[in-house]
Structure 1
């Protein structure tokens, strides 16, 4: 019975090490080099286009509804990315998608 417990513990350690080695997500930083079409440069060699980028409301123009003086109104928030904006991104597991979460 002790041998079986040892084997189970070894398998657990192997599984935990495999998950930890995958780097499920990573924070990366980039610079917008073009707003339309959207392109973000991460380093000298890697430039991402809109096919690889997902935007949060923190970095795009969007509409919100709000109540002002008891009246419900629609308002546009102008947060769109511009050339030379510095952005913070999360690289999604596998590195095929990047979520732009904020800008400086």
Structure 2
């Protein structure tokens, strides 16, 4: 009986689509599209983008200085798939791996 309860609980967790860490690649910038695991293409509607990944340029006198580089095609991203699997949070760029 205990094994049946454990199995049912595990199946319920699996069916809910638990949080999962995944890698993605920016394939298009405007509008943003990210390819996850070389098979799933996500649009902006399914992505939560932190402010730190948006471009930021400031003007100092006549010179503009880029403080934060915006997302660009080919950028590798660390993503967290939210429970249920409908939305993804972009955590950061990945520089290797």
Q: TM-score scaled by structure 2? A: 0.68
Supply the RMSD in Å over aligned alpha carbons. 2.8
Partner of 2:22 in structure 1?
Answer: 28
Aligned equivalent of 2:81, options 69, 84, 91: 91
Secondary structure of the corresponding residue to residue 91 of structure 2: strand
- Specify the alignment match of 2:93 in structure 1: 103
Farther-moved stretch of structure 1 (13-22 vs 84-93): 13-22
For structure 1, list consecutive stretches of 5 or more residues without a partner in the other structure. 1-5, 64-75
Which has more radius of gyration? 1
Task: Give 1:15 shift.
Answer: 6.5
Q: With the length of structure 1 as denominator, give the TM-score of the two structures.
A: 0.64
Q: Is the 8 A contact 1:54 1:97 kept in 2?
A: yes
- Within 2, Cα distance between the matches of 1:11 and 1:43? 33
Partner of 1:3: none
Number of residue equivalences:
85
